[in-house]
Chain A
Amino acid sequence: MTSVVCGGRGGDMRGDLTATTITIPGANGDEIEAYYAAPSDGGPRGSVVVLHHLPGYDAATKEITRRFAAEGFAAICPNLYSREAPGADPDDAAATARALGGVPDERLVGDVAGAAAFLRAQPASNGAVGVIGYCSGGRQSVLAACSLDLQAAVDCYGAFVVADVPDGFPFAFTSLRPLLENLSCPLLGLFGAEDQFPSPEQNVEMAILLEGHGKSFTSHTFEGAGHAFFATDRPSYRPEVATKAWGIVLDFFTTHLAEA
Protein backbone atom coordinates (compact mmCIF):
# COMPACT_ATOMS: atom_id res chain seq x y z
CA MET A 1 0.00 0.00 0.00
CA THR A 2 1.36 3.41 -0.93
CA SER A 3 1.53 6.15 1.67
CA VAL A 4 1.25 9.01 -0.82
CA VAL A 5 -1.69 11.12 0.19
CA CYS A 6 -2.81 14.31 -1.47
CA GLY A 7 -6.23 15.16 -0.18
CA GLY A 8 -7.61 12.04 -1.77
CA ARG A 9 -6.59 10.14 -4.91
CA GLY A 10 -3.47 9.03 -3.19
CA GLY A 11 -4.17 6.46 -0.54
CA ASP A 12 -4.91 2.91 -1.47
CA MET A 13 -4.39 2.71 -5.23
CA ARG A 14 -6.29 -0.57 -5.31
CA GLY A 15 -9.48 1.33 -4.62
CA ASP A 16 -10.22 -0.67 -1.47
CA LEU A 17 -12.97 0.87 0.58
CA THR A 18 -15.70 0.28 3.07
CA ALA A 19 -19.23 1.56 2.62
CA THR A 20 -22.15 1.43 4.98
CA THR A 21 -25.39 3.08 5.99
CA ILE A 22 -25.13 5.19 9.12
CA THR A 23 -27.09 7.76 11.06
CA ILE A 24 -25.78 11.29 11.61
CA PRO A 25 -27.16 14.42 13.24
CA GLY A 26 -28.60 16.74 10.61
CA ALA A 27 -30.44 20.05 10.79
CA ASN A 28 -31.98 20.77 14.19
CA GLY A 29 -30.17 17.73 15.57
CA ASP A 30 -32.49 15.40 13.69
CA GLU A 31 -31.05 11.94 13.15
CA ILE A 32 -30.86 11.34 9.41
CA GLU A 33 -29.75 8.39 7.33
CA ALA A 34 -26.56 8.66 5.30
CA TYR A 35 -24.40 6.46 3.11
CA TYR A 36 -20.75 6.65 4.10
CA ALA A 37 -17.83 5.32 2.08
CA ALA A 38 -14.17 5.62 2.99
CA PRO A 39 -10.88 4.28 1.66
CA SER A 40 -9.38 1.39 3.55
CA ASP A 41 -6.07 3.15 4.19
CA GLY A 42 -5.36 5.30 7.19
CA GLY A 43 -5.37 8.78 5.64
CA PRO A 44 -5.04 11.65 6.20
CA ARG A 45 -7.51 12.55 3.50
CA GLY A 46 -9.99 15.10 2.30
CA SER A 47 -13.69 14.37 2.35
CA VAL A 48 -16.71 15.02 0.18
CA VAL A 49 -20.42 15.47 0.88
CA VAL A 50 -22.43 14.08 -2.03
CA LEU A 51 -25.89 15.58 -2.60
CA HIS A 52 -28.34 13.39 -4.47
CA HIS A 53 -30.67 14.59 -7.20
CA LEU A 54 -34.40 15.19 -6.85
CA PRO A 55 -35.25 11.55 -7.71
CA GLY A 56 -33.63 10.64 -4.47
CA TYR A 57 -31.06 8.87 -2.39
CA ASP A 58 -30.70 6.13 -4.94
CA ALA A 59 -28.33 3.40 -6.07
CA ALA A 60 -26.68 5.63 -8.67
CA THR A 61 -25.81 8.29 -6.10
CA LYS A 62 -24.46 5.68 -3.72
CA GLU A 63 -22.28 4.44 -6.58
CA ILE A 64 -20.91 7.98 -6.98
CA THR A 65 -20.22 8.05 -3.24
CA ARG A 66 -18.26 4.81 -3.48
CA ARG A 67 -16.34 6.15 -6.47
CA PHE A 68 -15.03 9.02 -4.36
CA ALA A 69 -13.88 6.54 -1.73
CA ALA A 70 -12.19 4.41 -4.36
CA GLU A 71 -10.37 7.56 -5.49
CA GLY A 72 -9.07 8.25 -1.98
CA PHE A 73 -11.66 10.58 -0.45
CA ALA A 74 -14.02 9.85 2.39
CA ALA A 75 -17.53 10.54 1.14
CA ILE A 76 -20.96 10.73 2.62
CA CYS A 77 -24.36 11.05 0.97
CA PRO A 78 -27.03 12.21 3.40
CA ASN A 79 -30.56 11.03 2.67
CA LEU A 80 -32.23 14.39 2.31
CA TYR A 81 -35.64 12.69 2.53
CA SER A 82 -34.95 10.90 5.81
CA ARG A 83 -37.63 12.82 7.64
CA GLU A 84 -40.43 12.50 5.11
CA ALA A 85 -39.91 8.84 4.34
CA PRO A 86 -37.60 7.00 6.72
CA GLY A 87 -36.69 3.56 5.44
CA ALA A 88 -38.73 3.91 2.27
CA ASP A 89 -37.64 2.91 -1.20
CA PRO A 90 -35.80 5.84 -2.81
CA ASP A 91 -38.47 6.39 -5.45
CA ASP A 92 -41.28 6.34 -2.88
CA ALA A 93 -39.31 8.72 -0.69
CA ALA A 94 -38.71 11.10 -3.60
CA ALA A 95 -42.40 11.06 -4.50
CA THR A 96 -43.34 11.81 -0.91
CA ALA A 97 -40.84 14.65 -0.61
CA ARG A 98 -41.94 16.16 -3.90
CA ALA A 99 -45.59 16.15 -2.88
CA LEU A 100 -44.60 17.99 0.29
CA GLY A 101 -42.71 20.69 -1.59
CA GLY A 102 -39.14 19.39 -1.55
CA VAL A 103 -36.29 20.05 0.84
CA PRO A 104 -36.31 23.47 2.55
CA ASP A 105 -33.07 25.37 2.00
CA GLU A 106 -32.46 25.96 5.69
CA ARG A 107 -32.79 22.28 6.43
CA LEU A 108 -30.45 21.38 3.58
CA VAL A 109 -27.77 23.61 5.02
CA GLY A 110 -28.17 21.99 8.42
CA ASP A 111 -27.96 18.52 6.96
CA VAL A 112 -24.77 19.35 5.04
CA ALA A 113 -23.32 20.92 8.18
CA GLY A 114 -24.00 17.69 10.04
CA ALA A 115 -22.44 15.62 7.27
CA ALA A 116 -19.36 17.86 7.17
CA ALA A 117 -18.98 17.67 10.94
CA PHE A 118 -19.17 13.89 10.79
CA LEU A 119 -16.48 13.77 8.11
CA ARG A 120 -14.15 16.12 9.97
CA ALA A 121 -14.54 14.04 13.13
CA GLN A 122 -13.15 10.91 11.48
CA PRO A 123 -9.60 10.00 12.55
CA ALA A 124 -8.35 9.91 8.96
CA SER A 125 -9.77 13.33 8.06
CA ASN A 126 -7.38 16.15 7.22
CA GLY A 127 -10.17 18.60 8.07
CA ALA A 128 -10.92 19.60 4.49
CA VAL A 129 -14.46 19.00 3.25
CA GLY A 130 -15.92 19.60 -0.18
CA VAL A 131 -19.45 19.28 -1.47
CA ILE A 132 -20.80 18.09 -4.81
CA GLY A 133 -24.37 17.87 -6.00
CA TYR A 134 -26.18 16.78 -9.10
CA CYS A 135 -29.26 18.34 -10.69
CA SER A 136 -31.27 19.79 -7.76
CA GLY A 137 -28.23 18.88 -5.66
CA GLY A 138 -26.13 21.17 -7.83
CA ARG A 139 -28.04 24.18 -6.62
CA GLN A 140 -27.90 22.80 -3.09
CA SER A 141 -24.13 22.43 -3.37
CA VAL A 142 -23.81 26.14 -4.15
CA LEU A 143 -26.24 26.94 -1.34
CA ALA A 144 -24.16 24.93 1.13
CA ALA A 145 -20.92 26.55 -0.03
CA CYS A 146 -22.48 29.99 0.44
CA SER A 147 -23.69 29.10 3.93
CA LEU A 148 -20.99 26.92 5.49
CA ASP A 149 -17.23 26.85 5.92
CA LEU A 150 -16.21 24.40 3.20
CA GLN A 151 -13.03 23.98 1.19
CA ALA A 152 -14.41 23.20 -2.28
CA ALA A 153 -17.75 22.91 -4.03
CA VAL A 154 -18.96 21.43 -7.30
CA ASP A 155 -22.23 22.30 -8.99
CA CYS A 156 -23.26 19.72 -11.57
CA TYR A 157 -25.96 21.31 -13.71
CA GLY A 158 -28.01 22.79 -10.90
CA ALA A 159 -30.94 24.94 -12.05
CA PHE A 160 -32.09 28.13 -10.32
CA VAL A 161 -28.70 29.17 -9.01
CA VAL A 162 -29.03 32.58 -10.63
CA ALA A 163 -32.38 32.21 -12.42
CA ASP A 164 -35.46 33.59 -10.75
CA VAL A 165 -37.99 31.06 -9.57
CA PRO A 166 -41.29 31.41 -11.49
CA ASP A 167 -44.48 32.52 -9.78
CA GLY A 168 -46.47 29.65 -8.38
CA PHE A 169 -43.39 27.48 -8.06
CA PRO A 170 -44.21 24.43 -5.94
CA PHE A 171 -40.88 24.31 -4.11
CA ALA A 172 -39.95 26.69 -1.32
CA PHE A 173 -36.68 28.04 -2.62
CA THR A 174 -35.35 31.05 -4.45
CA SER A 175 -32.50 32.14 -6.68
CA LEU A 176 -29.14 32.01 -4.89
CA ARG A 177 -28.02 35.28 -6.46
CA PRO A 178 -28.08 37.22 -3.16
CA LEU A 179 -25.96 34.58 -1.45
CA LEU A 180 -23.12 34.31 -3.94
CA GLU A 181 -21.08 36.99 -2.21
CA ASN A 182 -20.85 34.60 0.76
CA LEU A 183 -19.25 31.75 -1.18
CA SER A 184 -16.71 30.25 1.22
CA CYS A 185 -14.56 28.22 -1.17
CA PRO A 186 -13.53 27.61 -4.78
CA LEU A 187 -16.47 26.54 -6.90
CA LEU A 188 -16.44 24.31 -9.97
CA GLY A 189 -19.40 24.30 -12.35
CA LEU A 190 -20.02 21.47 -14.82
CA PHE A 191 -22.72 22.06 -17.39
CA GLY A 192 -24.11 20.70 -20.63
CA ALA A 193 -24.22 23.03 -23.62
CA GLU A 194 -27.64 21.62 -24.58
CA ASP A 195 -29.13 22.16 -21.13
CA GLN A 196 -31.57 25.03 -20.64
CA PHE A 197 -31.97 24.59 -16.87
CA PRO A 198 -29.41 25.94 -16.25
CA SER A 199 -28.85 27.55 -19.61
CA PRO A 200 -25.39 28.51 -20.88
CA GLU A 201 -26.47 32.16 -20.53
CA GLN A 202 -27.33 31.66 -16.87
CA ASN A 203 -23.97 30.02 -16.28
CA VAL A 204 -22.23 33.03 -17.81
CA GLU A 205 -24.24 35.29 -15.51
CA MET A 206 -23.18 33.16 -12.57
CA ALA A 207 -19.53 33.55 -13.57
CA ILE A 208 -19.87 37.32 -13.91
CA LEU A 209 -21.55 37.62 -10.52
CA LEU A 210 -18.94 35.49 -8.78
CA GLU A 211 -16.10 37.33 -10.47
CA GLY A 212 -17.63 40.58 -9.27
CA HIS A 213 -17.54 39.24 -5.74
CA GLY A 214 -13.91 38.20 -6.15
CA LYS A 215 -14.75 34.51 -5.85
CA SER A 216 -12.92 31.57 -7.40
CA PHE A 217 -15.16 29.98 -10.03
CA THR A 218 -14.17 27.59 -12.79
CA SER A 219 -16.72 26.17 -15.17
CA HIS A 220 -16.85 23.76 -18.06
CA THR A 221 -19.72 23.61 -20.52
CA PHE A 222 -19.57 20.43 -22.54
CA GLU A 223 -20.72 20.27 -26.14
CA GLY A 224 -22.86 17.29 -27.03
CA ALA A 225 -24.25 17.03 -23.53
CA GLY A 226 -27.40 18.23 -21.88
CA HIS A 227 -28.65 17.82 -18.36
CA ALA A 228 -27.58 14.86 -16.19
CA PHE A 229 -24.69 13.70 -18.36
CA PHE A 230 -23.16 11.96 -15.32
CA ALA A 231 -26.22 9.76 -14.79
CA THR A 232 -25.12 6.31 -15.92
CA ASP A 233 -28.63 4.87 -15.51
CA ARG A 234 -30.36 7.42 -17.73
CA PRO A 235 -30.53 8.19 -21.45
CA SER A 236 -28.89 11.54 -20.75
CA TYR A 237 -25.62 9.78 -19.89
CA ARG A 238 -22.73 10.91 -22.07
CA PRO A 239 -19.83 8.55 -21.34
CA GLU A 240 -17.09 10.61 -22.97
CA VAL A 241 -18.19 13.81 -21.26
CA ALA A 242 -18.76 12.08 -17.94
CA THR A 243 -15.33 10.46 -18.02
CA LYS A 244 -13.67 13.78 -18.74
CA ALA A 245 -15.78 15.57 -16.13
CA TRP A 246 -15.00 12.95 -13.48
CA GLY A 247 -11.32 13.67 -14.05
CA ILE A 248 -11.92 17.40 -13.64
CA VAL A 249 -13.83 16.83 -10.41
CA LEU A 250 -11.14 14.60 -8.96
CA ASP A 251 -8.37 17.03 -9.89
CA PHE A 252 -10.36 19.88 -8.35
CA PHE A 253 -10.94 18.07 -5.07
CA THR A 254 -7.36 16.80 -4.98
CA THR A 255 -6.14 20.37 -5.25
CA HIS A 256 -8.52 22.00 -2.82
CA LEU A 257 -8.99 19.24 -0.25
CA ALA A 258 -5.29 18.59 0.29
CA GLU A 259 -5.50 20.44 3.57
CA ALA A 260 -8.05 22.36 5.60
Chain B
Amino acid sequence: MCTYATTVLTIDGSAKGKIGWFSANQATVYFDHPVHFARGHALMVDLANPSEGPSARVGLELSPESARALAVAILDALDAVSPALFEADGVTR
Protein backbone atom coordinates (compact mmCIF):
# COMPACT_ATOMS: atom_id res chain seq x y z
CA MET B 1 0.00 0.00 0.00
CA CYS B 2 0.90 3.63 -0.13
CA THR B 3 1.08 4.37 3.60
CA TYR B 4 0.86 8.11 2.96
CA ALA B 5 2.11 8.63 6.55
CA THR B 6 4.74 11.32 6.23
CA THR B 7 6.72 13.43 8.65
CA VAL B 8 8.20 16.66 7.38
CA LEU B 9 10.67 18.54 9.56
CA THR B 10 12.90 21.55 9.28
CA ILE B 11 16.60 20.78 9.52
CA ASP B 12 19.86 22.67 9.33
CA GLY B 13 22.73 21.18 7.37
CA SER B 14 24.10 20.32 3.96
CA ALA B 15 23.73 17.38 1.64
CA LYS B 16 25.28 16.27 -1.62
CA GLY B 17 23.06 15.03 -4.40
CA LYS B 18 22.53 15.25 -8.12
CA ILE B 19 23.20 19.00 -8.18
CA GLY B 20 26.25 18.76 -5.90
CA TRP B 21 26.34 20.22 -2.42
CA PHE B 22 23.35 22.20 -1.26
CA SER B 23 21.96 23.58 1.99
CA ALA B 24 19.46 21.03 3.28
CA ASN B 25 16.66 22.65 5.22
CA GLN B 26 13.93 20.01 5.05
CA ALA B 27 13.76 16.31 5.88
CA THR B 28 10.86 14.06 4.95
CA VAL B 29 10.53 10.67 6.62
CA TYR B 30 8.05 8.01 5.55
CA PHE B 31 7.55 4.27 5.15
CA ASP B 32 6.35 3.47 1.67
CA HIS B 33 7.20 1.98 -1.70
CA PRO B 34 10.86 2.52 -2.59
CA VAL B 35 11.94 3.55 -6.07
CA HIS B 36 15.18 1.58 -6.28
CA PHE B 37 15.52 -0.69 -3.22
CA ALA B 38 14.04 -4.10 -4.09
CA ARG B 39 11.55 -4.32 -1.25
CA GLY B 40 7.84 -3.79 -1.12
CA HIS B 41 8.27 -1.04 1.43
CA ALA B 42 11.17 0.85 2.93
CA LEU B 43 11.91 3.57 5.43
CA MET B 44 12.47 6.56 3.24
CA VAL B 45 14.32 9.76 4.07
CA ASP B 46 14.55 12.75 1.77
CA LEU B 47 16.97 15.54 2.62
CA ALA B 48 16.06 18.50 0.48
CA ASN B 49 15.99 22.21 -0.16
CA PRO B 50 12.67 22.96 -1.89
CA SER B 51 13.78 26.48 -2.80
CA GLU B 52 16.50 25.02 -5.04
CA GLY B 53 14.10 22.76 -6.93
CA PRO B 54 13.11 19.08 -6.83
CA SER B 55 16.62 17.91 -7.73
CA ALA B 56 18.04 19.40 -4.55
CA ARG B 57 17.36 16.14 -2.80
CA VAL B 58 19.20 13.19 -1.34
CA GLY B 59 16.96 10.16 -1.02
CA LEU B 60 17.54 7.15 1.23
CA GLU B 61 15.61 3.89 1.01
CA LEU B 62 16.39 1.62 3.96
CA SER B 63 15.20 -1.68 5.36
CA PRO B 64 13.53 -1.21 8.77
CA GLU B 65 16.50 -2.90 10.43
CA SER B 66 18.96 -0.62 8.67
CA ALA B 67 16.94 2.46 9.48
CA ARG B 68 16.83 1.63 13.16
CA ALA B 69 20.54 0.83 13.23
CA LEU B 70 21.29 4.13 11.52
CA ALA B 71 19.08 6.04 13.93
CA VAL B 72 20.83 4.43 16.91
CA ALA B 73 24.25 5.11 15.39
CA ILE B 74 23.37 8.77 14.90
CA LEU B 75 22.23 9.12 18.50
CA ASP B 76 25.27 7.20 19.77
CA ALA B 77 27.57 9.46 17.79
CA LEU B 78 25.97 12.54 19.26
CA ASP B 79 25.99 11.12 22.78
CA ALA B 80 29.68 10.34 22.52
CA VAL B 81 30.60 13.95 21.89
CA SER B 82 31.82 16.05 24.78
CA PRO B 83 29.22 18.67 25.75
CA ALA B 84 32.00 21.21 25.63
CA LEU B 85 32.27 20.72 21.89
CA PHE B 86 28.63 21.67 21.39
CA GLU B 87 29.09 24.64 23.66
CA ALA B 88 32.12 25.72 21.69
CA ASP B 89 30.07 25.64 18.49
CA GLY B 90 27.20 27.44 20.13
CA VAL B 91 24.69 24.62 19.49
CA THR B 92 22.59 22.43 21.74
CA ARG B 93 23.22 18.74 22.11
From known contacts A228-B33, A235-B38, infer whether A170 and B54 are also in contact, taking CB-CB under 8 Å. Answer: no
Find out whether the CB atom of B1 lies under 8 angstroms from the CB atom of A135: yes
From A91, A96, A159, contact of B2 by CB (8 A): A159
Chain A residue at minimum C-beta to C-beta distance from B5: A170
From known contacts A89-B55, A170-B5, infer whether A98 and B30 are also in contact, taking CB-CB under 8 Å. Answer: yes
Chain A residue at minimum C-beta to C-beta distance from B28: A99
Size category of the binding interface on chain A: 20 to 34
Find out whether the CB atom of B1 lies under 8 angstroms from the CB atom of A159: yes
Find out whether the CB atom of A95 lies under 8 angstroms from the CB atom of B48: yes
A244 within 8 A of B: no
From A95, A170, A171, A226, contact of B57 by CB (8 A): A95
Contacts of B59 in A (CB 8 A): 91, 95
Instruction: Tell me the bound Cα distance from A52 to B63 in angstroms.
Output: 24
Q: How many residues of B contact A (CB 8 A)?
A: 26
From A54, A85, A96, A159, contact of B33 by CB (8 A): A54
Q: Which residues of A, 109-163, contact B by the 8 Å Cβ criterion?
A: 135-136, 157, 159
Find out whether the CB atom of B2 lies under 8 angstroms from the CB atom of A53: yes
Chain B residue at minimum C-beta to C-beta distance from A99: B28
B6 within 8 A of A: yes
Chain B residue at minimum C-beta to C-beta distance from A84: B54
A55 within 8 A of B: yes
Contacts of A85 in B (CB 8 A): 53-54
Find out whether the CB atom of A196 lies under 8 angstroms from the CB atom of B54: no
Per-residue A-contact encoding for B35-51, CB less than 8 Å = 1, 0 else: 10011100000101010
B8 within 8 A of A: yes
- Chain A interface (Cβ within 8 Å of chain B)? 53-55, 58, 84-85, 88-89, 91-96, 98-99, 102, 135-136, 157, 159, 169-171, 195-197, 226-228, 234-236
- List 7 A-B pairs, minimum CB-CB distance, nearest first: A197-B1, A88-B54, A92-B54, A85-B54, A54-B2, A170-B6, A96-B54
27 example contacts (A-B, Cβ-Cβ < 8 A) are as follows A53-B2, A53-B33, A54-B4, A55-B32, A58-B35, A84-B54, A85-B53, A88-B54, A89-B18, A92-B55, A95-B28, A95-B48, A96-B48, A96-B50, A96-B57, A98-B6, A98-B28, A99-B50, A157-B1, A171-B6, A196-B1, A226-B40, A227-B1, A227-B40, A228-B40, A235-B38, A236-B40
